[in-house]
Amino acid sequence: MSPAANLIPHSHAARMARHDDKRRRVLAFLRTEIWTLPEVISLVAGVADPRTVRSTLAGLQRDELVARESCVLPSGRRVELVGITMTGQAHAAHLLSKPLIERGFERGRAGLAQVEHRTDLQRLRIQLAQAGWSGWTYPDRVSVQDKSQAGGHRPDAIATAPDGTVAAIECERSVKTSKRYRAILSHHLTSIARGDYQLVIYTSPNEPTCGAVRSLISRCERVIVTGRDMAVTTEMLAHFSFTTYQQLVEGATK
């Protein structure tokens, strides 16, 4: 047998291993995220070629592990959502040896107004994980009953930096009113005093939004913290960071 022939089985095995690894990564990600966009799947799978992503998703759909839906966002942008089915959840639980999550993607049920905000968070989750961040959770994604019982503001995400700092992450695609930021600032400072996290990162897609958020929060003069009305100090504001997505990711990878 020629040396080239000896390479054929090994090459096939390597391709199959890469194929299985991509599927495993996608299912592991969708297990908790439920749905996303193909371009986010590309980051998850570590694949730059859109054809490879389409092929991977087609195979997962053929096996009824994911479902897809074409829709138009309020901005007019047409996107394709990719979500995990309950069969996919069962498959993911088996692959990862983790409990079954009883939630699957349902066509027509995704909140289209939140697609861009949610997928921005997903990209940040992936990129920060690659930089060594861990423990990413979504405190805001709880049932309506749990939200009403807990009360107050919940950050978009909480994650732990490589140095051990626990940070609340706010993905700020648009600017709120100063009154709303004052209320949110009170909740964050109360959570910091309680020890829930030490830092709040406000991150935006561009400099104008980032600057406006920084300005409005830094102009807050008084807040309610642990039930007490008090003046906002520079020490309080030192717990807040304002950055664009690009600056956050670049800073995390240095």
pLDDT tens figures, 86-98: 999 999 999 999 9
- pTM assigned to the model: 0.89
Q: Please give the pLDDT value at position 67.
A: 98
CATH number assigned to the domain comprising residue 184:
3.40.1560
| One domain, residues 63 and 133 | no
Question: What is the structure's pLDDT at 149?
Answer: 46
Burial 64-103 (b: 16+ CB within 10 A, else e): ebbbbbeeeeeeeeebebbbbbeebbebbeeeeeeeebee
Backbone dihedral region of 137: left (phi > 0), alpha (psi from -120 to 50 degrees) or beta? beta
Domain range holding 218? 111-254
Q: How many domains does the chain have?
A: 2
Q: Which CATH number covers residue 3?
A: 1.10.10.10
Q: What is the pLDDT of residues 112-159, one digit of tens each?
A: 999 999 999 999 999 999 999 999 999 977 654 454 444 578 999 999
Do residues 125 and 97 share a domain? Answer: no
Calpha distance 71→60 (Å, rounded): 20
Q: Which of 47, 77, 109 is the last residue of a domain?
A: 109
Q: In this predicted model, what pLDDT tens digit does every residue of 227-248 receive, in sequence order? A: 899 999 999 999 999 999 999 9
Residue 145's pLDDT is: 47
Average pLDDT value for residue range 24-30: 97
- Predicted confidence at residue 84, as pLDDT, reads 98
Last residue of a domain, one of 86, 109, 132: 109
For 164-198, the pLDDT digits (tens) are 999 999 999 999 999 999 999 999 999 999 999 99
Same domain for 233 and 129: yes
pLDDT at 141: 74
Last residue of a domain, one of 109, 143, 165: 109
Assess whether 105 and 117 both reside in one domain: no
